[in-house]
């Protein structure tokens, strides 16, 4: 249950300031399909970073997220300051790692559970604004219910989830394709419609995300703001590079999938000196891990490639600092790409493809060295170039430090706080 409590540091009742008074704390209901420690990558970690900062700034936050528990996830470095309610059920088959296709009875049960969970949160917490970070695996009727209750909505997009994830919802998918069946949902007392997002405020972490949402999304979001994501300097304090000898320790951080360029990176290892090692750190489904391990064996580099997950954010920070080079080989249009920023904050040189939104802050020979996506020979050439040219290594590392100083989580939170205040009708 969610306790109904006064805003921290704010009077209640007759002595309370009117809504919109300067400095008024907000009650923010944050909705995300996953939330650390159970997460797939940087998206959910960024959500937690903003939530924790919002609480530190005096706002009250309740996080409504799924009951998904992922094995091997890293624990938060400190207890959550917000209340995290892990009760939503997902439309995702975690064993098969694919969209679920449950029976009609199971769909009704999941949808009823999620609608009740949201209504309970609204009744008990009474938020000033709902902050939606991703509906990737959960019920898309939740923002529809928010709209019916006139709760202001803010959409935060670190990727193009509003374009790609509605189809994952096995309940609304039924009625979106068969609108004539909506009376069935009404008879069951359940919502069936996707939201309008007519009055929603929205932000995107990169211009690329904003452009794709505008061209491919079913919703028009004319006031969409660009608020670049930033590195969390609590987890990754900005550190100047330390001069040391080169020892060919390469690091990859991220989901272990083909679109992230992991196969290309493994193939590139065969082009590098035999002393080169690669630490692949990130979430991998067992099928993906088996494929990557088999590829490393075929390429003759299995003894030089290791796979694992960080035990904590501190562990990940130390992995960055121990590496000689961080490789960001993404081949899909990367929405933003927080890994290069984390590496830059840790004083480590970066080579990358610069695809998608990552190209908006990655600058060849200034804060990184770029190589062609999907080209293991060009990746290896970029790595050798950094290894052999100490002056270049120093230059791009210094440029990376400046980039990390400019793009921080605090600055990201500033932008989102302003948008949430505007949505809630509170002065900034």
CB 343 within 8 Å of CB 356: no
* pLDDT at residue 378 greater than cutoff 70: yes
19-23, 275-279, 392-396: range with lowest mean pLDDT: 19-23
Assigned token pair, 378 = 């060009």
Assigned token pair, 175 = 């009625």
325-328 and 249-253: which strand pairing?
parallel
* pLDDT at residue 20 greater than cutoff 70: no
CB 386 within 8 Å of CB 393: yes
All domains in the chain, ordered by first residue:
13-229+409-424 (3.40.50.2000), 249-406 (3.40.50.2000)
* pLDDT at residue 314 greater than cutoff 50: yes
In order, the DSSP letters of 189-201 are T---PPP--SS-E
| Strand boundaries in 205-294, DSSP class E | 225-226, 249-253, 277-281
CB 31 within 8 Å of CB 54: no
In order, the DSSP letters of 161-192 are HHHHSGGG-TTHHHHHH-GGGHHHHHHTT---
Confidence at residue 6, expressed as pLDDT on a 0 to 100 scale? 31
Residue 190: partners with Cβ closer than 8 Å, 6 or more residues away: 108, 111, 112, 115, 141, 171
CB 228 within 8 Å of CB 416: no
* pLDDT at residue 368 greater than cutoff 80: yes
Burial of 382 (0-12, 13-18, 19+ CB in 10 A): buried
Which has the closest alpha carbon to 277: 249, 319, 303, 318? 249
Confidence at residue 386, expressed as pLDDT on a 0 to 100 scale? 97
* pLDDT at residue 8 greater than cutoff 70: no
Q: What is the mean pLDDT of the chain?
A: 91
Confidence at residue 343, expressed as pLDDT on a 0 to 100 scale? 97
Q: Which helix (H) or strand (E) holds 141?
A: helix 141-148
Q: Which helix (H) or strand (E) holds 319?
A: helix 313-322
- Give 13's pLDDT tier (boundaries 50, 70, 90): very low
- Give 18's pLDDT tier (boundaries 50, 70, 90): very low
CA distance 48 to 190: 30
Residues in the chain: 428
* pLDDT at residue 19 greater than cutoff 80: no
Q: Cα separations (Å) of 379 from 70, 168, 229, 398?
A: 32, 35, 26, 21
CA distance 202 to 221: 7
92-93 and 98-99: which strand pairing?
antiparallel
CA distance 165 to 90: 12
In order, the DSSP letters of 22-79 are TTPPPEEEEEES-BTTB-SSHHHHHHHHHHHHHHHTT-EEEEEEE----TTPPBPSS-
Q: How far is CA 353 from the centre of its chain?
A: 20
Distance between first and last Cα of the chain: 31
* pLDDT at residue 127 greater than cutoff 70: yes
Which has the closest alpha carbon to 49: 204, 206, 208, 236? 236
- Using DSSP's 3-state secondary structure scheme, residue 4 falls into coil
Q: How many CB atoms lie within 10 A of CB 344?
A: 33
* pLDDT at residue 10 greater than cutoff 60: no
Confidence at residue 77, expressed as pLDDT on a 0 to 100 scale? 57
CA distance 253 to 118: 34
SS3 content of the chain, % helix, strand, coil (to 5): 40, 15, 40
CA distance 93 to 70: 12
| Strand boundaries in 329-376, DSSP class E | 350-352, 369-370
CA distance 42 to 340: 12
Assigned token pair, 296 = 């490393």
CB 31 within 8 Å of CB 142: yes
98-99 and 27-32: which strand pairing?
unpaired
Average pLDDT over residues 233-241: 90
Residue that is written with structure tokens 């948008």 in the block: 419
């Amino acid at each position: 249950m969610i306790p109904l409590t006064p805003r921290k540091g704010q009077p209640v009742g007759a002595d309370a300031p009117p809504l919109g008074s300067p400095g008024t704390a907000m009650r923010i209901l944050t909705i995300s399909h996953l939330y650390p420690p159970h997460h797939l990558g940087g998206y959910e970690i960024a959500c937690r970073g903003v939530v924790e900062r919002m609480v530190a700034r005096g706002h009250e936050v309740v996080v409504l997220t799924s009951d998904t528990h992922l094995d091997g996830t890293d624990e938060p470095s400190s207890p959550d300051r917000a209340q995290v309610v892990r009760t939503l059920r997902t439309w995702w088959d975690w064993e098969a790692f694919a969209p679920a296709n449950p029976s009609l009875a199971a769909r009704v049960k999941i949808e009823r559970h999620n609608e009740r969970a949201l209504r309970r949160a609204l009744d008990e917490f009474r938020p000033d604004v709902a902050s939606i970070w991703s509906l990737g695996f959960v019920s898309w009727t939740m923002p529809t219910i928010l709209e019916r209750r006139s709760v202001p909505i803010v959409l935060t997009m670190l990727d193009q989830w509003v374009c790609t994830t509605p189809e994952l919802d096995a309940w609304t998918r039924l009625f979106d394709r068969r609108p004539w069946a909506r009376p069935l949902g009404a008879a069951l007392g359940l919502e069936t419609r996707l939201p309008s997002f007519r009055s929603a405020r929205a932000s995107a972490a990169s211009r690329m995300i904003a452009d794709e949402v505008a061209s491919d999304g079913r919703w028009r979001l004319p006031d969409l703001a660009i608020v670049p994501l930033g590195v969390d300097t609590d987890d990754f304090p900005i550190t100047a590079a330390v001069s040391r000898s080169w020892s060919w320790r390469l690091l990859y951080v991220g989901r272990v999938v083909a679109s992230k360029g992991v196969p290309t990176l493994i193939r590139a290892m065969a082009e590098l000196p035999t002393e080169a090692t690669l630490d692949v750190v990130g979430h991998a489904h067992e099928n993906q891990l088996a494929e990557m391990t088999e590829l490393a064996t075929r390429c003759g580099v299995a003894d030089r490639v290791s796979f694992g997950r960080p035990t904590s954010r501190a562990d990940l920070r130390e992995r960055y600092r121990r590496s000689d080079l961080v490789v960001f080989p993404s081949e899909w249009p990367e929405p933003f790409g927080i890994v290069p920023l984390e590496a830059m904050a840790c004083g480590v040189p970066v080579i990358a493809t610069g695809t998608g939104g990552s190209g908006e802050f990655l600058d060849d020979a200034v804060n990184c060295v770029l190589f062609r996506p999907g080209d293991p020979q060009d990746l290896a050439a970029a790595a050798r170039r950094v290894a052999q040219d100490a002056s270049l290594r120093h230059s791009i590392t210094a440029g990376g430090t400046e980039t990390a100083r400019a793009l921080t989580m605090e600055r990201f939170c500033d932008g989102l706080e302003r948008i949430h205040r505007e949505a809630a009708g509170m002065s900034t």
